[in-house]
Amino acid sequence: MDERRAPLAVRSHLRPADVGALIDDLRPDVVAIDSPPRWAATGRSRRTERELAACNIQSFNTPSETHGRGNRFFAWMEVGFEVFRVANEHGFPTYGAGTPKGRAVEVFPHATTVVLAGNLPPKGISKRVWRERVLHAQGVRTDELTSIDRIDAALAALTGLLALEGKRFAPGDPREGVIMLPVNTLPARPFRQASRIPNLVAPLFNYCACGDPACHALVRGEFAPGHDAKRKAMLWRRAREGQGSIEELEERGWKLPPEMR
């Protein structure tokens, strides 16, 4: 994601070993990873997670190695540990404090969404829709974010970008890892659930949502003139290739490709 808040490279299903090549290719200012970097020092949680819980932001707690290693539930964390190790080998040591530039930082998409929205998601809204709305309100292009994993990756990148701009707070003990938040401080009172789905204020202008990498048109609506047809053509191509997109076609009231009706 660049300073325009437009995703520059969207990838899925990468292995930890692939991350190093991507870092070398893109040479970002910061690497944001949705995982803890290591086990807790002791016990069954880290200080950073306990401090977030005090603000009503719940997460999967990271236990100590004694309690976590060998437990299949925590296998995804061990994959994250490996990603942090790869990032370190490619010039991005794990963040502890100070500037995040040139560091690999731990992020938590749910926490990012809550602090940017100012509340917990209301009842009746899916995780994907809620998080995508928050991204849109922050001026992030979401046309290529076709899955919850990609949406979470964009929230991670946005957290890193805001941290570089000075909007950051990372509670906890750096020795066991700290979660980066795109705010300068946490509120005195715990976050509460929104009573209704709020109308998050979006920027006056957005980038066209056609999905064409060469299009950088700024629009007040969703598409530049005629670019809704480009979006439809792209969705038809993805649907034919088995990459999904049927849900978006239906949501927009657009017909499926003739051979799929």
**Confidence (pLDDT) at 250:** 82
* pLDDT reading at 41 higher than 70: yes
Classify each residue of 236-253 as buried b or exposed e, where b means 16 or more C-beta atoms within 10 Å of its C-beta: bebbeeeeebeebbeeee
Task: Report the pLDDT value the prediction gives residue 19, as an integer from 0 to 100.
Answer: 93
Segment 131-145 mean pLDDT: 85
Query: Residues of the chain with pLDDT > 70: what percent?
Result: 95
**In the structure, what pLDDT confidence band is assigned to residue 12 with cuts at 50, 70 and 90?**
confident
pLDDT range class, residue 76, cuts 50, 70, 90: very high
- pLDDT at 116 (0 to 100): 94
Q: Which of 64-68, 158-162, 223-227 has the lowest mean pLDDT?
A: 223-227
For residue 158, give every residue at least 6 positions away whose Cβ sits within 8 Å of its Cβ, in sequence order, or none: 1, 5, 112, 135, 138, 140, 182
Q: How does the average pLDDT of the chain come out, rounded?
A: 89
Query: Which pLDDT value is given to residue 167?
Result: 95
pLDDT band for 202, please (50, 70, 90 cuts).
low
Among 208, 239, 52, residue whose Cα is nearest residue 139: 208
Q: How confident is the model at residue 219 (pLDDT cuts 50, 70, 90)?
A: confident
Q: So what's the pLDDT on residue 198?
A: 58
What residues pair up with 33 in beta bridges, in sequence order? Answer: 106
What integer is the mean pLDDT of 83-90?
97
Q: What is the pLDDT of residue 146?
A: 82
Tokens of 157: 């990148």
pTM of this prediction? 0.78
Beta pairing, strands 31-33 & 104-106: parallel
Percent of residues, the chain, with pLDDT higher than 90: 56
Question: Residue 244 pLDDT more than 70?
Answer: no
Mean pLDDT of 33-49: 96
